[in-house]
Every structure is written in structure tokens, then in C-alpha cells.
């Protein structure tokens, strides 16, 4: 029974934890501009993150070492450094966006400017990392993030024509008035949102922190194969609400308030309350994950003592990196740069950095020296190879598409 | 304009909270101001363009003004003040849409 509860909680956490500010913004923007014509990308992204997160979790459980630690050892310092620089920069932008996301959620609840909330939210993130147990932290924010299920209820209450929705999803086209390049740019952004690198770094380092062993491989599979797809359904619901309400009125999404608007119209104040809790929890949880991921990858690259569960006095450099990342992220959004733009750029750069994250995972998951008989099977390798090609194409296309479309304008 | 209209509709149907609609309408006003500022910064190449500029700028000025009024009403928690400006928002939105159609 205890085991069942642990698995269920893990799955619920994965659902709530799947959606962050990038998913909120990207899915809402895409729904408002392209309807359901890019919904297929969410499906592709969810399968991709499932394939690689399962590998990363398995690598961590079998080797009892996190992925980034093994990347340096297996591929050498130079390849690991390239990975470190790219991932750290993407992590930094994502962290800034998530910190802004928490503040924006509080602004919607209070009408006090998000800029005034930034110092408090950053401090709160740091305090939670400092004081709250890993498992507690993961479950509180993952479960609270589940209140984003209001998007799914709102979508249903808006009364979509299911036949038309299914047709759009299964027969995607580039809508009239939108160019092919813009369509592809948003496809890459959505893909980047689903496969953000910090997710696997956090997932594998978290597995090590929670002392996973081969006995936990089923928990790993359940979390990944049930939790992430259900999280993907939340993403599609966000897309669906804006497709039904904003698209027909020609409204493009430029802020978090607009992301919530269709659900507010469908569900009223109660729906809004659920969304605000969900926004807060999803962005707070993701801020914790990105801040910790920054500490994880830098400490693991340099071979420093690391871990949220390790006392700060025993892992001072790890905790210093986490703190400095948070401060720098907060400073970036305090410059009053548009947080939605920061999110959009973080998604594109995330897509650019994907191969540096996912190629090493595929290599290590096939190395018998590390995996002790738990290397990838044929299906995992076939899917991993297919997704590696997709990741390479998305990465190569990200910057040219951003330039050609002026970041999707 | 359409975002603001949906926000006003939500207020009229008592489906939203004051702080949320205040932020939503404030951001709609900011966006309209930004559009007007960008438009005004473009140098009109000839006299025909001058006339078009005056027409569009006049409409945008009205839009920003009504959005400002709605935002102020929202900050004051004046529900009647918000919903009372619904027709003006609808009128300006239609005129902007007609202008867009006319210009292709």
C-alpha cells in the first residue's frame, strides 16, 4: 500500500511538474495563433521527454550517479564543457522566466506589480531549497500544480466541437495568414518547451538524491510513462482554451493574464482561483528545479560535493551556485525586460541545446560498464535514435527560424 | 481591444476578481499604447500617407483613452464604470477592424 501511494504521488507530481512557464506561454500562444494545427508537436515532445527521462532515471538508478556526472567521465571534459555552458545559459534564462512567472501569478492575485514581488519570490525559492525536504518540496508543488487541471475542465465547459478538434489535430495545416517559417518556429518552441534540458538533469539528480536503486525502476517508468503524458494533456488543454476563445477574435497572447482569460470566462472565480494556485505552484516548482539544476550540473562538472540533502557546510559551492543563479535570474527580470519574451527566447535556446543534453544520455544508456545489464533495449534505442534526429533538426532550425520570423512575429 | 472586451464581459457576468481584471485591462492599455507609439514613429512617405496616419492615429488615441478609463475604473473597483464602457470598446474595435479590412 505504501508503495502504491508512493507511485501514485510520483505520477501526480510528474503531471503537475510537467507544466512550467514555458509550457503555459508556448501552448497558449500557439492555440491563439494556430488553433489545434500544432497539437501534434505536444504529442511528439511528450514521447521524446518520456524516452529520454526514462533513460536518465534508469542511468541514475543503476549507476547511482547522475547523468551529468557520467557525461564528463564518458565523453570527456571538452564535450561536457560545451554541454555545461549551453545548459547553464538555458537554465539561467529558464530560471529567470520561472521566477518572473511566480511574481506574475502573484500580480494576478493581488494587482501589485510583479517587479515588486521578484525579491520576495526569489527569497522564498531560496528558503524552500534551504529548509524544505526534497520529497516534501517535490510533492507539495507537484500536487498543487495539479490545480492547472482547471484548464482541462475549462476546455470541456467551453463546449468544443470534438469532431472539428479531432480533424484539426489529425490533419494539421498552416493556417491562412501564417507563413510556413512562423509555423515551424512555433513548432520548435513547443518542442523545446516539452523537452527542456533541466527536466532530465533534475530528474536524474533527484533520483540520486532520493537514493534510487534498480528496485525503483518501475517507479521510474510509472512516473515517466503515466505522469508526463497526462502532463501533456494539460498542455493540450491550455492550447485548446485559447484556440476556442482567443483565436476567433484575433487575440494574440502577450501576457499571463491572457493565458487564463478563456478559463476564467468558462469557470468564473473558482476557475481563476485554481489557475492562480496552479500558476504559482507550477512556476515555483520549476524555479526550484532550475535553480537546483544549475547547482547540480556545475558541481557535477567540477567534481564538487553536491546535493540538496547535503548540509550547506558540506557542499558550500553547490549551494553558492544555486544562490548566485537565483540572484542573477532575479536581477535579469528586475531590469523590467518582458518576462514573456525571456520565456520565448529560453524555449528557442533550449531547442538549440537539446542535442548536447540528449546525445550523451543515449550513449551512456548503452554503455554496459555503467548500466550493468540494464542498457537500452531495441525499442528504447530505436525511439532514442529517431528522437535524436528530431532533436538535431530542431536544434539546427531554431536560430535561422528565429531570425527569419523575427521570433515568430 | 478584444482582450479588454472579453475582460469587461467577464466583469459584467461576475466571473472574475478585481485584481485580475485590473491587471488584464492595464496590460491591454499598455499594448495599445505600444502599438500607437510604434505607428507614430513611422515617417509617412507622402500626403496620402499623412491622411491615413491621421485617421489611424485618431482611432488609436480613442482606443488608448477608453482603455485608460476602463483600467482606472477597474483599479477603483467600479464595476459599473467598467461595464458602462463596453459599448465604446465594441465601437472602436469595430472601426479598427473595418479599417484593417479596408486597407487589406
Residues B6, A249: C-beta atoms closer than 8 Å: yes
Question: Which pLDDT belongs to residue B72?
Answer: 93
Taking alpha carbons only, the member of B93, B20, B75 closest to residue A267 is B20
Question: Which pLDDT belongs to residue A258?
Answer: 96
Give whole-number Cα distances, A388 to A125, A220, A347, A354, in Å: 34, 21, 18, 9
Q: Is B7 on the interface with A (CB under 8 A)?
A: yes
Give whole-number Cα distances, A173 to A36, A186, A249, in Å: 9, 13, 20
- For the cut 60, the answer to whether the pLDDT of residue A16 exceeds it is no
Nearby residues of A90 by Cβ (< 8 Å), 6 or more positions away: A196, A197, A198, A346, A349, A350, A353
Min Cα–Cα distance to chain A from B49, Å: 24
DSSP-H helix ranges across A132-227: 134-145, 149-157, 162-170, 180-194, 197-209, 217-222
Q: pLDDT digits over B61-92, tens only?
A: 999 999 999 999 999 989 999 999 999 999 99
Question: Which pLDDT belongs to residue A383?
Answer: 95
- Which residue in B2, B20, B23 is closest to A251 by CB distance? B2
Question: Which pLDDT belongs to residue A228?
Answer: 86
Residues A269, B17: C-beta atoms closer than 8 Å: yes
- For the cut 90, the answer to whether the pLDDT of residue A114 exceeds it is yes
- For the cut 90, the answer to whether the pLDDT of residue A10 exceeds it is no
Q: Is B102 on the interface with A (CB under 8 A)?
A: no
Question: Which pLDDT belongs to residue A148?
Answer: 92
Question: Which pLDDT belongs to residue A8?
Answer: 63
**Is the model more confident about A117 or about A350?**
A117
State which residue of chain A sits closest to B94, comparing Cα positions: A249
Where do the domains of chain A lie, and which CATH numbers do they carry? 2-404 (1.20.1740.10)
Q: pLDDT digits over A247-297, tens only?
A: 999 999 999 999 999 999 999 999 999 999 999 999 998 899 899 989 988
- Which residue in B6, B9, B20 is closest to A108 by CB distance? B20
CA distance A180 to A200: 31
- For the cut 80, the answer to whether the pLDDT of residue A302 exceeds it is yes
User: Would you say A256 and A19 are in contact if contact means Cβ atoms under 8 Å apart?
Assistant: no
Average pLDDT, chain A: 89
Nearby residues of A231 by Cβ (< 8 Å), 6 or more positions away: A14, A15, A16, A17, A18, A19, A46
User: What sign results for the dihedral spanned by CA atoms A148, A201, A293, A308?
Assistant: positive
| CA-based end-to-end distance of chain B | 19
Which residues in chain B are contacts of A264 at CB distance < 8 A? 10, 15-16, 20
Min Cα–Cα distance to chain A from B55, Å: 22
CA distance A65 to A209: 9
Query: Where does the pLDDT of residue B33 fall: very low under 50, low under 70, confident under 90, or very high at 90 and above?
Result: very high
Query: What cell numbers appear for A26 in the block?
Result: 508556448
**Torsion angles phi and psi, residue A200, rounded to 5:** -80, -35
Residues A269, B6: C-beta atoms closer than 8 Å: no
Please give the average per-residue pLDDT across A133-144, as a whole number: 82
Q: Is B16 on the interface with A (CB under 8 A)?
A: yes
Min Cα–Cα distance to chain A from B12, Å: 11
Question: Which pLDDT belongs to residue A168?
Answer: 92
Percent of chain A with pLDDT over 90: 53
Which residues in chain A are contacts of B18 at CB distance < 8 A? 111
Looking at chain B from residue 67 to 86, which residues have their Cβ under 8 Å from any Cβ of chain A?
A: 75
Residue with cell 476564467: A264
Complete DSSP assignment for B29-69: HHHHHHHHHHHHTSPP-SHHHHHHHHHHHHHHHHHHHHHHH
Query: Where does the pLDDT of residue A18 fall: very low under 50, low under 70, confident under 90, or very high at 90 and above?
Result: confident
Residues B17, A260: C-beta atoms closer than 8 Å: no
Nearby residues of A378 by Cβ (< 8 Å), 6 or more positions away: none
Q: pLDDT digits over A202-221, tens only?
A: 878 888 887 888 888 888 88
Q: Which of A96-100, A313-317, A382-386, B3-7 has the lowest mean pLDDT?
A: A313-317
Q: pLDDT digits over B84-97, tens only?
A: 999 999 999 888 88
Complete DSSP assignment for A18-53: H--HHHHHHHHHHHHHHTTTTHHHHHHHHHHHHHHH
Q: pLDDT digits over A45-74, tens only?
A: 999 999 998 998 898 889 888 877 888 887
Amino acid at each position: 500500500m505504501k508503495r502504491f501511494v508512493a507511485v501514485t504521488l510520483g505520477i501526480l507530481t510528474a503531471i503537475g511538474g510537467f507544466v512550467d512557464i514555458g509550457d503555459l506561454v508556448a501552448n497558449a500562444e500557439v492555440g491563439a495563433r494556430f488553433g489545434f494545427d500544432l497539437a501534434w508537436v505536444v504529442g511528439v515532445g511528450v514521447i521524446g521527454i518520456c524516452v529520454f527521462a526514462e533513460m536518465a532515471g534508469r542511468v541514475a538508478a543503476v549507476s547511482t550517479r547522475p547523468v551529468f556526472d557520467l557525461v564528463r567521465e564518458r565523453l570527456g571534459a571538452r564535450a561536457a564543457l560545451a554541454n555545461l555552458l549551453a545548459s547553464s545559459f538555458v537554465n539561467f534564462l529558464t530560471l529567470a522566466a520561472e521566477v518572473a512567472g511566480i511574481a506574475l501569478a502573484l500580480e494576478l492575485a493581488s494587482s501589485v506589480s510583479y517587479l515588486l514581488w521578484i525579491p520576495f519570490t526569489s527569497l522564498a525559492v531560496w528558503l524552500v531549497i534551504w529548509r524544505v525536504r526534497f520529497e516534501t518540496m517535490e510533492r507539495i508543488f507537484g500536487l498543487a500544480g495539479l490545480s492547472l487541471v482547471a484548464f482541462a475542465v475549462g476546455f470541456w465547459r467551453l463546449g468544443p466541437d470534438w469532431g472539428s478538434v479531432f480533424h484539426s489535430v489529425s490533419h494539421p495545416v498552416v493556417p491562412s495568414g501564417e507563413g510556413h517559417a512562423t509555423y515551424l518556429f512555433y513548432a520548435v518552441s513547443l518542442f523545446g518547451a516539452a523537452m527542456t534540458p533541466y527536466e532530465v538533469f533534475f530528474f536524474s539528480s533527484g533520483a540520486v538524491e532520493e537514493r534510487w536503486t534498480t528496485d525503483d525502476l518501475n517507479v521510474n517508468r510509472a512516473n515517466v510513462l503515466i505522469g508526463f503524458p497526462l502532463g501533456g494533456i494539460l498542455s493540450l488543454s491550455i492550447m485548446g482554451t485559447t484556440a476556442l476563445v482567443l483565436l476567433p477574435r484575433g487575440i494574440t497572447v502577450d501576457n499571463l493574464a491572457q493565458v487564463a482569460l478563456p478559463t476564467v470566462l468558462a469557470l468564473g472565480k473558482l476557475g481563476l482561483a485554481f489557475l492562480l494556485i496552479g500558476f504559482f505552484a507550477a512556476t515555483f516548482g520549476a524555479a526550484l528545479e532550475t535553480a537546483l539544476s544549475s547547482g547540480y550540473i556545475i558541481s557535477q562538472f567540477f567534481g564538487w560535493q553536491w546535493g540538496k540533502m547535503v548540509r550547506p557546510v558540506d557542499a558550500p559551492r553547490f549551494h553558492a551556485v544555486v544562490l548566485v543563479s537565483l540572484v542573477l535570474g532575479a536581477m535579469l527580470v528586475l531590469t523590467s525586460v518582458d518576462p514573456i519574451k525571456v520565456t520565448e527566447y529560453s524555449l528557442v535556446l533550449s531547442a538549440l541545446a537539446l542535442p548536447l543534453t540528449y546525445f550523451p544520455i543515449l550513449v551512456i544508456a548503452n554503455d554496459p560498464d555503467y548500466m550493468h545489464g540494464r542498457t537500452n533495449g531495441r525499442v528504447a534505442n530505436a525511439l532514442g535514435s529517431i528522437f535524436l534526429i528530431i532533436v538535431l533538426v530542431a536544434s539546427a532550425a531554431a536560430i535561422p527560424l528565429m531570425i527569419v520570423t523575427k521570433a515568430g512575429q | 481591444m478584444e482582450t479588454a472586451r472579453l475582460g469587461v464581459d467577464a466583469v459584467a457576468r461576475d466571473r472574475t476578481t478585481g485584481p485580475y481584471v485590473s491587471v488584464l485591462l492595464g496590460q491591454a492599455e499598455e499594448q495599445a499604447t505600444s502599438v500607437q507609439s510604434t505607428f507614430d514613429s513611422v515617417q509617412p512617405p507622402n500626403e496620402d500617407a499623412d491622411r491615413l496616419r491621421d485617421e489611424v492615429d485618431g482611432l488609436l488615441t480613442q482606443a488608448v483613452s477608453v482603455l485608460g478609463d476602463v483600467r482606472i475604473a477597474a483599479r477603483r473597483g467600479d464595476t459599473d464604470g467598467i461595464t458602462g464602457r463596453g459599448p465604446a470598446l465594441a465601437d472602436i474595435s469595430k472601426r479598427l477592424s473595418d479599417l484593417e479590412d479596408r486597407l487589406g
